[in-house]
């Protein structure tokens, strides 16, 4: 199918589409079928939906047990977090995120994650750029990127005998 569209700099432009839709197909994942796998912090697991190594972008669910915290991190890119269950905060701020709350974190932000209450916290997040984990002296002890998460996820899937999903 050929679609014609108006462009402010040209009188017409032509775009070839597949089956009448515009652009690439969306990625669809049945969240229940995606595996949780152990992540950097004891007891914390992630369920990757999309790991885009070229764009250094992640879309994941993160689950952390109640009372977990103390992990300071620095963002090179932005993060958008939607809280599904539980409560969490950053020690450096006076708000508490609860189910239904959204937090946007700008590039250059640094803070310390902590879960609250007596139930697991589950969030859905989209992250771009690297995430530097810091020790008590502010030294970087681990760098999370789409590439490092993809490598960890592939290793986990290989060990578990399952096929990795959502990596590009």
Each residue's pLDDT tens digit, 54-81: 999 999 999 999 988 778 999 999 999 9
pLDDT at 67: 86
Q: Please, are residues 112 and 71 in contact by the beta-carbon 8 Å criterion?
A: yes
Indicate the average pLDDT of the chain.
85
Q: 140 or 18: which carries more pLDDT confidence?
A: 140
- Checking 84-87 for CB contacts under 8 A at 24+ apart, the result is 84/122, 84/123, 84/124, 85/119, 85/120, 85/121, 85/122, 86/115, 86/116, 86/117, 86/119, 86/120, 86/121, 86/122, 87/115, 87/116, 87/117, 87/121
Q: 116 or 13: which carries more pLDDT confidence?
A: 116
pLDDT at 19: 54
40-52 pLDDT, tens digit per residue, is 777 899 999 999 9
146-164 pLDDT, tens digit per residue, is 999 999 999 999 999 988 8
Q: 91 or 20: which carries more pLDDT confidence?
A: 91
Is the confidence at residue 24, as pLDDT, over 70?
Answer: yes
In the chain, where are the structural domains located?
Answer: 27-160
Neighbours of 25 (CB within 10 A): 8
Is the confidence at residue 32, as pLDDT, over 90?
Answer: no
Superfamily (CATH H level) for 27-160: Jelly Rolls (2.60.120.10)
């Amino acid at each position: 199918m050929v679609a014609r569209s108006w462009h402010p700099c040209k009188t017409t432009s032509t775009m070839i589409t597949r089956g009448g839709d515009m652009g690439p197909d969306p990625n669809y994942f049945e969240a229940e079928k995606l595996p949780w796998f152990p992540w950097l912090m004891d007891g914390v697991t992630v369920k990757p939906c999309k790991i885009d190594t070229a764009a250094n972008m992640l879309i994941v669910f993160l689950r952390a047990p109640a009372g977990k915290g103390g992990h300071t991190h620095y963002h090179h890119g932005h993060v958008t977090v939607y809280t599904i269950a539980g409560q969490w905060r950053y020690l450096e701020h006076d708000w508490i995120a609860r189910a239904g709350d959204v937090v946007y974190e700008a590039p250059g932000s640094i803070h310390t994650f902590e879960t609250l209450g007596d139930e697991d916290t589950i969030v859905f997040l989209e992250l771009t750029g690297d995430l530097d984990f810091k020790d008590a002296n502010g030294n970087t002890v681990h760098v999370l990127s789409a590439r490092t998460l993809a490598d960890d996820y592939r290793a986990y899937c290989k060990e578990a005998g399952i096929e990795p999903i959502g990596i590009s």
